[in-house]
Structure 1
Amino acid sequence: MQATVTKGYRFVLLALLFVMGIGAERIGLVAYMSDPWEQEYILFLVRQHLFLVSISMALALAAGLTAGILVSRKRFRKYAGVVMYVIGLGQTIPSLAVLALVMSFLGIGSRPAIFALFIYSTLPIARNTLAGILAVSPAIIDAARGIGMNPMRILWQVELPNALHVILAGVRVALVINIGTAALGYLIGAGGLGDLIFTGINLMQTDKLLAGALPVIVMALVGDFLVELFGIIVIPKGIRLAE
């Protein structure tokens, strides 16, 4: 039965890919992406897109992990609600409005786009870091204290490894949001794949629209997979089996 289901799934997937290939050929996407000049231009936009995502995600990781760890400490835990509210203010404002506000004091180009993406990506990381650390069993922490571990060792060797699954879930959410929102950077002169997407919309050219949208989708899927793979590598096997 399972073999039959697997074969059926593969057949449906191949049929879907075949239909999508025919559709891509009919709308001119294949011809557009086969043009050597257009290929070079798409790769240039992909590099711009990756630059925006990588810098903003690095900043979001640094800020989110630091904030989540700090407010998880007993002396700062009473401020956790306020800190998360302040960090989350950026996500309560529509992305276009955030870009407009940031552009008003940083001008146009990659800097305001990176700052806006940083604001949008920090909350999931900080919130999941806090939630993951607070979810660690007090019995495990007491056992660590019992064998003489100091607070810093408990954090790095007990709390963070046990919270890593939850933290990486927040990183995956932040990364996918970041990759999708980075397309809006084109509106303030930051470049990226939003160039093709919005040009295709404005000119009603489906081939250009899809030439920009499909790489964004692929980047989001690949990024999500890489974070999951990273979790499999770094999370201790015993913790993964317990989860």
Structure 2
Amino acid sequence: MPAALVDLFIPCFVDQLFPTTAMNMVKVLESVGCQVNYNPNQTCCGQPAYNAGYRQESQCVAEKFLTDFAGPAERYVVAPSASCVGMVRNSYQELLTDSSRKAEFPALQRRVFEFTEFLVDVLGIDQIPGAKLEGTYTYHDACSALRECHIREEPRRLLDSVAGLERLEMAETETCCGFGGTFAVKFEPISVAMAQQKVEHALATGAQYLISTDTSCLMHLDAYIRKEGKPLKTLHVADVLASGW
């Protein structure tokens, strides 16, 4: 079977704040035989501008994305962020409605995947050989992963196959963590209260790790955890799958 060709889409958030997560995704993809490529010209997907109401500016970013990730059908675009994948899959269709390049979008839309769904749904892989992490974890369903990309079982299947790791589901796992990008800035008290609720549910399980597909959610939750001195460690799925080998 020929190697899957993968163009890495590393969101600006991951690039600037969580580069190790990006490198761990590359480590895992290469370990399962993918041929990985990175285009250094790539930038943001446009989600911050889009969510803030800057439609024209975000359309320009979307058109640049089409250029940066132009490729044949057999080249996949894979990202360690369901939030950004959801932006490309769902919001670009509206953004590019009056663009001269709208005809290019459907082909790109079919090639863009979040990391865990690519492994499970495209490659048919639900275990990474050698992955090992001792302890217990609880899983947070990021809003974008669950509602925009319909990802729920894929990360759990991969994590449950990690040697030494046991899942403890928390209450209301599908409830938002309160980040929401600019929401956390504009509505700080509500955002913090939502983070508190999510962390309390996670702690109630007795789990050592809180794991998710999105570093944005994890950053928000980790900030609350650190401020309050709670005994819980946040990890991205890629970091877990790359551990122990």
- TM-score of the two chains, using structure 1 as the length reference: 0.25
- TM-score of the two chains, using structure 2 as the length reference: 0.25
Which structure has more helix as a fraction of its residues? Answer: 1
- Higher normalized contact order (CA 8 Å, seq sep 6+, divided by chain length): 1
Which structure has more strand as a fraction of its residues? Answer: 2
Larger radius of gyration: 1
